Structure 1
Amino acid sequence: MSEPSILPTGLDALEARLRQDLAWLELPAKSWVPPRMANGKAVVDVVIIGGGMAGLVASGMLKRLGVANHVVLDKAPAGQEGPWITFARMRTLRSPKQLTGPAMGLPALTFRAYYEARYGIEAWAALDRAPREIWMDYLIWYRRVLELPVRNNISVDAILPRDDGMLDLICEQDGRTETIVARHVVLATGRDGLGGPYVPPIADGIERKFWAHTADEIDFAALKNKRVGVIGAGASAMDNAATALEAGAGRLDMFVRRKELPRINKFTGIGSQGVVHGFVGLPDEWKWRFLDYTMGQQTPPPRPSVLRVSAFAQAHLHLGSPVTSLEKHGDHIVVVTPKGRYPLDFLIFGTGFRIDVINRSELAAVAPSIRLWRDRFPVPADMQNNELQASPDLGEAFEFLEKEPGACPALSKIHCFNFAATLRHGKLTGDIPAVSEGADRLARGIVKALFVEDRERHFADLQAFDTPELNGDEWVDSETLADDCPTNCATPSERTLI
């Protein structure tokens, strides 16, 4: 009797199914982009800057569509890309667990498939939301199982236009500088990808040892028994407050400008495929209206994050308390609000991020030429919004547009696949719900641009193609057969029928 076959289980079984699904769909597509050389070195068709979720799904989509000659660059060590195990301090993701995220329409590539393969169906049923560490594990698996071309510990210090229409990327790795020549560049750089953390001017003149932004590395262990303040009441502010309390902070004061915490997540409430695919088609004034209203209402922090903070008796919430100034007093600082003065040992700014393309050093060579919404959109008097005005005006494939036509054509090769694209394309570039749809739009746009640019080469290949489909002996022309036949083979009328 033959030995029973041993069927793969867990992740092995899931990966086998994924391979089968890809084979049935004939994915990834064969490589079709003609190779290029520049100054004796190979050109990379697409460089993706950022190896977090958005960068990985962008890479997956390009590979799927046959753009094999691309690379993903990330300055973080492998396994630490994105915010999930660095400055993200929530216990779980804020998105519902069942969202398909970067799966690109492949069931075996979803987080649910991964989680059930590792922990079982019952564990999935009991799960509320994805723990952020396990989400990071999922992204590491995603990168491995799709064999995505990611390079770690490498930074991009400058993106420079070339005379031949391509781009030089000046990169640094392990103290060595290298130049990568690319045809297209994708900025998959997350929430702060076209700006940086926002800290209000009240911090000017206050030593950094007294404060940090939620996006900074923070030594929470050093805050044990300390008086800690947090400005803001968004999700990140709450998560940092909770982390400080769990590390043993002696007192925590949270200062909120509003008179009550926002309670309703407006944009999530209208989430649908209509928004995903239809937002981009709205007239400009309606795009502005949607986002200005949403930003004005603000997004509430998740209920679990608030309960995580309010569970501590030493946590104090101050509503209607904008911070008007900071004062240095010897070994501590004092926060001043309309309601009082609060001595603190350390202050955390949960004040979000801002879009500020001019301050992105890697874009210094092209930033002055990037067209922003404020350069061409007449802002309604009752909807003034500095962040929206600073948003880049993008094309169909997330590419930058020129402020003055012809001043910097290379901008059409740089694609803004990060938060700053929201006003043009909707929420497709950073949030989990529609990131696959965003990557599909990006990749298809790049594919179109590559093919159009290489049209002469593709036409030459068309003309040169000479592999016969027929050998010429499959069927004989009837008239030729009749002409070759002896006289008595057929009557004239019969030959007519032949």
Structure 2
Amino acid sequence: MNSPTARHPGLAALEARLREDLAWLELPARSWVPPRTHEGRPVVSVAIIGGGMAGLAAAASLAHLGVDAVIFDQSPQGFEGPWATTARMETLRSPKQLTGPALGLPALTFRAWFEAQFGGEAWAALDKIPRLQWMDYLRWYREVLGLDVRNDHRITSIVPLDDGDGDGVVALSVSHAGRDSVVYARHVVLATGRDGLGGPSVPAFAKALPKRFWAHSSDEMDYGTLRGKRVGVIGAGASAMDSAATALEAGAASVDLLIRRADIPRVNKGKGAGNPGLTHGHAALPDAWKWRIRHYINVQQVPPPRGSTLRVSRHENARFNLGSPILDVTVAGNALHVRTPQGLFELDFLVFATGFNIDPASRPEFASFARHIRTWSDRYTPPAGDEDRELTDSPDLGPAFEFLEKTPGTCPGLARIHCFCAPATLSHGALSGDIPAVSDGAKRLSLALAAVLYREDIGHHYANLEAFEEPEVFGDEWTPAGPPTTSAVHPEPEPQR
């Protein structure tokens, strides 16, 4: 759908400026990837699964390089990613001036989009970007770049078909409007977000509870159903604060935050480490340094934003229970008895703000290749005391974000599937989903894919080189000189004796 803000007259001038900028940079490049067919059907050069921010940035960067890409997203148009569905923060956590998916184009930034409609004074007065306004910006981004996004398309299986001759494809089973079909692509990019290779992480005891008593913070749910209920939120990160505040604003009788730690983290270590050196240098670091950096950030944990925390604490019926890990939970009639070291909590509903796990085998669409993915547990053994489940389970990726085989030769074509989502962080750094460096990640991915596609088609490109016959000169630009005249001939000097 078209965003209502896309009709604002101030955007017309911005869009004209963007078209001019692209023309001056000769973007997008002309198409150069030769068309292919498989079993008589056309093959997409790059299929991207996920039309959120990362998927859009990847498709735009590929288009700039002259590579065709199609995005498949299971959500209705305009509701890709979490922003208008499962995200519950009032504003983004990132500073407003970060350029996000703009790919180095000033006219494509959120700031340009915002000022075109609301002016410079409004920008100066803005603290953080409202969450739903960011979604409006991404809708405009998709529209103004003319990206090919197929909404309401669910991918049910991904099967690499490759006999090692370089002509392999990936078969995507697609469900749309009650019908199933198969799409073939030379390469597939998984731009599937935080839970891109797994799903919500919840403790084992939660799975034993009736589902009417609990939800994960990433679940789509109507928080209005919590009105009048005693709610427990497990965790102290950003999503915990967002869930707690949403429950309180929906009329929950009370919200108890059950926080394992004795204190809430105060410093965002990852923010302090961010700089262009890390962005571009992480992938080339020795394994030990990659692990050390990401493990340290994980151990220190990311604190919740100040604004999100104040959004909770301004409610008198919100309680921050520190040093309260869950010991056990039992069902008592229509309530839950939650036992912690601080005492027993009687609650009506629990929200688990406990993050995500990396477990490709848990996703049916990955069944054909999940067991073949090489992970960091196959690559690196950390020092004693630095074990980290998230890092151990992370995929060990190649330079194009491609999966590598655990045992070479057992899954031909696996390298045609590229992980451009959160689990890529240990291999490539935080380039595949977070706002600060998503453009850098999209460019790295697209440049690497362009190189792979060129290499795969080198015979075709060499034939084009040989067949190229567009003359630069025509032979009428000069007059050939005739034989030299006598006066023009200078005799050889006599050799000296």
Q: Which residue of 2 aligns with 1:421?
A: 424
- Gaps in structure 1 of 5+ consecutive residues: 1-7, 484-489
Q: Which residue of 2 aligns with 1:456?
A: 459
Q: Tell me whether 1:210 sits opposite 2:213 in the alignment.
A: yes
Distance of aligned partners of 1:256 and 1:306 in 2 relative to their CA distance in 1, 3 Å threshold = same
TM-score normalised by structure 1 residue count: 0.95
Alignment length (residue pairs): 481
Q: Which residue of 2 aligns with 1:75?
A: 74
Q: How does 1:104-143 map to 2 (within 5 A)?
A: 104-143=103-142
Q: Is the 8 A contact 2:230 2:348 kept in 1?
A: yes
What letter is aligned with 1:253?
D
**Partner Cα separation in structure 1 for residue 391 and residue 283 of structure 2:** 15
Describe the SS at the equivalent of 2:180: strand
Describe the SS at the equivalent of 1:368: helix
Q: Tell me whether 1:354 sits opposite 2:349 in the alignment.
A: no
Q: Is the 8 A contact 1:168 1:180 kept in 2?
A: yes
Q: Tell me whether 1:256 sits opposite 2:259 in the alignment.
A: yes
**Partner Cα separation in structure 2 for residue 495 and residue 239 of structure 1:** 93
Q: Tell me whether 1:149 sits opposite 2:148 in the alignment.
A: yes
Equivalent position to 1:476, from 466, 469, 479: 479
The alpha carbon displacement at 1:408 in A equals 1.4
Q: Which residue of 2 aligns with 1:94?
A: 93
Q: How does 1:345-384 map to 2 (within 5 A)?
A: 345-384=348-387
Q: Is the 8 A contact 2:18 2:108 kept in 1?
A: yes
Q: Which residue of 2 aligns with 1:48?
A: 48
Q: Which residue of 2 aligns with 1:195?
A: 198
**Partner Cα separation in structure 1 for residue 363 and residue 459 of structure 2:** 36
Describe the SS at the equivalent of 1:433: helix
- Residue by residue over 1:329-381, the C-alpha shift from the partner in whole angstroms, topping out at 9 and shown as x without a partner, is 11111111111111111110000111112112111101111100101212211
Q: Which residue of 2 aligns with 1:389?
A: 392
**Partner Cα separation in structure 2 for residue 177 and residue 21 of structure 1:** 41
**Partner Cα separation in structure 1 for residue 52 and residue 16 of structure 2:** 25
The alpha carbon displacement at 1:412 in A equals 1.0
**Partner Cα separation in structure 1 for residue 358 and residue 160 of structure 2:** 23
Q: Is the 8 A contact 2:369 2:411 kept in 1?
A: yes
Q: Tell me whether 1:28 sits opposite 2:28 in the alignment.
A: yes
Q: Is the 8 A contact 1:482 1:495 kept in 2?
A: no
Q: Is the 8 A contact 1:48 1:187 kept in 2?
A: yes
Describe the SS at the equivalent of 2:257: strand
**Partner Cα separation in structure 1 for residue 216 and residue 381 of structure 2:** 33
Q: Tell me whether 1:337 sits opposite 2:337 in the alignment.
A: no
Q: Is the 8 A contact 1:202 1:324 kept in 2?
A: no
**Partner Cα separation in structure 1 for residue 459 and residue 408 of structure 2:** 25
Describe the SS at the equivalent of 1:100: coil
Q: Is the 8 A contact 2:226 2:250 kept in 1?
A: yes
Describe the SS at the equivalent of 1:85: coil
TM-score normalised by structure 2 residue count: 0.95
**Partner Cα separation in structure 2 for residue 103 and residue 204 of structure 1:** 41
What letter is aligned with 2:51?
G
The alpha carbon displacement at 1:437 in A equals 0.2
Q: Is the 8 A contact 2:161 2:412 kept in 1?
A: no
The alpha carbon displacement at 1:405 in A equals 1.1
Q: Is the 8 A contact 2:241 2:308 kept in 1?
A: yes
Farther-moved stretch of structure 1 (352-361 vs 180-189): 352-361
Describe the SS at the equivalent of 2:435: coil
The alpha carbon displacement at 1:477 in A equals 3.0
Describe the SS at the equivalent of 2:400: coil
The alpha carbon displacement at 1:271 in A equals 1.1
- Residue by residue over 1:154-180, the C-alpha shift from the partner in whole angstroms, topping out at 9 and shown as x without a partner, is 011111122452110001001101100
What letter is aligned with 2:290?
K
Describe the SS at the equivalent of 1:103: coil
The alpha carbon displacement at 1:9 in A equals 5.2
Q: Which residue of 1 aligns with 2:3?
A: none
Farther-moved stretch of structure 1 (413-422 vs 331-340): 331-340
Q: Which residue of 2 aligns with 1:285?
A: 288
Equivalent position to 1:175, from 178, 195, 202: 178
Q: Is the 8 A contact 2:375 2:396 kept in 1?
A: yes
Q: Which residue of 2 aligns with 1:491?
A: 486
Describe the SS at the equivalent of 1:409: coil
The alpha carbon displacement at 1:401 in A equals 0.5
Describe the SS at the equivalent of 2:193: coil
Moved over 4 A (4+): none
Identity among equivalent positions (%) equals 57
**Partner Cα separation in structure 1 for residue 335 and residue 421 of structure 2:** 38
What letter is aligned with 1:400?
F
Q: Which residue of 1 aligns with 2:39?
A: 39
**Partner Cα separation in structure 1 for residue 379 and residue 442 of structure 2:** 27
What letter is aligned with 1:33?
V
Describe the SS at the equivalent of 2:397: coil
Q: Tell me whether 1:322 sits opposite 2:317 in the alignment.
A: no
Farther-moved stretch of structure 1 (272-281 vs 445-454): 272-281
Distance of aligned partners of 1:76 and 1:473 in 2 relative to their CA distance in 1, 3 Å threshold = same
